[in-house]
Amino acid sequence: MGTTQTLQRQFKQFRMTETADALPTFLREAEQKSWTYQELLVALCNHEEKRREEKMIQKYLIWAQFPFERTLDNFDTSQAAVLSDRQIGQLKEFEWLNQAFNLLLLGPPGVGKTHISIGLGMEAIKQGKQVSFISMAELISLLKTEEYVRKSQLRLNRVRKSNLVIIDDMMFMAMETNEANLFFQLVSDLYEKSSIILTSNKGPDSWSKMLGDQGIATAILDRLLHRCEIIHMNGDSHRMKNRETIFE
């Protein structure tokens, strides 16, 4: 018969570290409550599974690099008449993500585009999906330095492996031809493999001017909008409505 320490060592060899650490506590509880062998095994397995899920979510949240954390539960749909609670619920079911469908959130600054995109990203992570959040400006910078900067290579590798890629402030500024080419290559890598959420205050009809080359613009739009839900979020800025003041 093995001692508790021996069992802990064996669990660690099996890469069940969480079970190894919690084993003495579970053994005492099993003795106090007269658990059966099966009840003890179920409790240990459930604990290991839960802790692994929690660690995976934490790791994916770090990888996602959200600028801040927002949930869909605290998004006020009354201030975004275009999206109902029912539609938010449908988005959270992620059938569109399983089908590599894209979302385009259009509207002026402050109406909640980034809030919704981050909220969807966090929900996706809870369901075991890998997510990457990146602004358009940072994305272009990474693409331009990928060949010789290790940090850029690592970040873009995670972007390409993600189930969901969120690109914030799409077409915030005009691109040079080489930048548009690099962006096209990334979109091609992700096409029909990953879902993309784009936020922008400019509609697709104006993107071709921002992308410079008409041929590249057409190719990018063709891939991004082929299977895409476009959500228009017009209205007043939430940030301006709810802004705080130092004066009474």
pLDDT of residue 211 exceeding 90: no
| Contact (CB, 8 A) for 173 and 137 | yes
50 versus 80: the higher-pLDDT residue is: 50
Average pLDDT (194-222) is 83
Instruction: Give me the pLDDT at residue 247, please.
Output: 34
Cβ neighbours around 8 below 10 Å, total: 19
DSSP 8-state secondary structure symbol assigned to residue 77? G
Pairing relationship of beta strands 228-232 and 195-200 according to DSSP bridges:
unpaired
| Contact (CB, 8 A) for 90 and 125 | no
Residue written as token pair 């990018």: 220
Among 87-91, 162-166, 190-194, 232-236, top mean pLDDT goes to 162-166
| CB environment 174-198: b (16+ within 10 A), e (fewer) | ebeeebbbbbbebbeebbeebbbbb
Spatial distance between the Cα atoms of 65 and 61, rounded to a whole number of angstroms: 7
> 239 pLDDT band (50/70/90 cuts)?
very low
pLDDT of residue 180 exceeding 90: no
pLDDT of residue 248 exceeding 50: no
Cite the beta strand spans of the chain per DSSP E: 102-106, 131-135, 164-168, 195-200, 228-232
What does the pLDDT look like over 72-108, one tens digit per residue? Answer: 887 766 655 567 788 888 889 999 999 999 999 998 8
Instruction: Give me the pLDDT at residue 77, please.
Output: 64
Task: Give the orientation angle of helix 136-145 with respect to helix 150-161, to 10 degrees.
Answer: 120
Among 15-19, 36-40, 124-128, 238-242, the range scoring the smallest mean pLDDT is: 238-242
Sorted by where each starts, the structural domains of the chain and their CATH numbers stand as 4-63 (no CATH), 77-241 (3.40.50.300)
User: What is the value of pTM for the model shown?
Assistant: 0.81
139 versus 80: the higher-pLDDT residue is: 139
